[in-house]
Amino acid sequence: MSSSALEEELTTEYEDWTNLFLPRTAQILKSTPLTATDTLHRLRFQNGDIGDYKPGQFVMVSMLGIGEVPISICSSPTHIGGFELCVRSAGTVTQAINELNAGALVPIRGPYGRGFSTEKMVGHDVMIIAGGIGLAPMRSLIQYLLDQRSQYGEIWILFGAKRPGEVLFQDEVLSWSSRPDIHFLMTVDIANRAWRGNVGPVTSLFHYVKVDPHNTCAAVCGPPVMYRPVLRELQHLELPDAQMFFSFERRMKCGLGKCGHCLINGHYCCKEGPVLSYAEIRELPEAM
């Protein structure tokens, strides 16, 4: 009697719940090498759409048997019919992804995290500061802003690359640079003979920037060493803390705010980030 009584107590409640670690299947529509190490993949989920997401959000991409990696979505949610990921071959998983061609099926979880607060940017001037592969998530934001250009004020793009030949999305970057409604500034760390532009870190471009700080939002993404110098420049411009948005890179493993790898002090970068305003992180010594 009692055995069955205890069995009746067993909960089955969670058995119908979604296994959050189970990816959906996406198909690569097109793979385009951008540089020696970076490839742009256009994908679409087989069953249904990726759903609503914000520029700055990321997905977990699987190579079964090798592992999973977090990759920012680099296309805008306003572009329908798929999404794009720019993958740099930096490890075993990313290398395997970049060996795939159109037609390949890829398990993907997400989108995860909190992206850029585009609502807050409406009616404001927007400064986009990107370094290297940090341009990938920023491309999503730039496309998003340009698709609704009239809702935003001045748009500044400050972009730093290591070398002139290592620029991602070259055609798009070229089109941004020639648009009259964008202030486009670019710099390289190491110039070649053909380079006529600015040489130096991305912070050296701030010299050319003129904004009304109270009406400006900044969005920053780049290598970790870039954050403190950029922050100093933005503070020098007197942007309010709540209008500076940084996209942080951390070792995200679960994407669900559980595994602990991505913590910035007590904040889960995967869940509460990866985009956080300076107002949210100024008390966090581990952020920058």
Report the interface residues with other proteins, using CB under 8 A.
Answer: 1-3, 5-7, 9-15, 17-23, 25, 62, 64-68, 88, 90-91, 94, 103-105, 107, 223-224, 249-251, 253-254, 256-261, 263-266, 271, 285-286
Nearer to other proteins, 66 or 237 (CB): 66
Nearer to other proteins, 233 or 249 (CB): 249
Work out how close the CB of 178 gets to other proteins at its nearest, in angstroms, rounded to a whole number. Answer: 32
Work out how close the CB of 108 gets to other proteins at its nearest, in angstroms, rounded to a whole number. Answer: 11
Q: For the residues of 2-69, what is the DSSP string, one character each? A: HHHHHHHHS--GGGGS--TT-PEEEEEEEEEE-SSSEEEEEEEESSS------TT-EEEEEETTTEEE
Question: String of b and e for 235-269 (b: at least 16 CB within 10 Å)?
Answer: eebebeeebbbbbbbbebbbbebeeeebbbeebbb
Nearer to other proteins, 207 or 251 (CB): 251
Work out how close the CB of 149 gets to other proteins at its nearest, in angstroms, rounded to a whole number. Answer: 34
Distance CA 140, CA 131 (A): 15
Work out how close the CB of 273 gets to other proteins at its nearest, in angstroms, rounded to a whole number. Answer: 13
Nearer to other proteins, 84 or 272 (CB): 272
Nearer to other proteins, 51 or 65 (CB): 65
Work out how close the CB of 137 gets to other proteins at its nearest, in angstroms, rounded to a whole number. Answer: 15
Q: Which amino acid is at 208?
A: Y
Residue carrying structure tokens 């991602």: 168
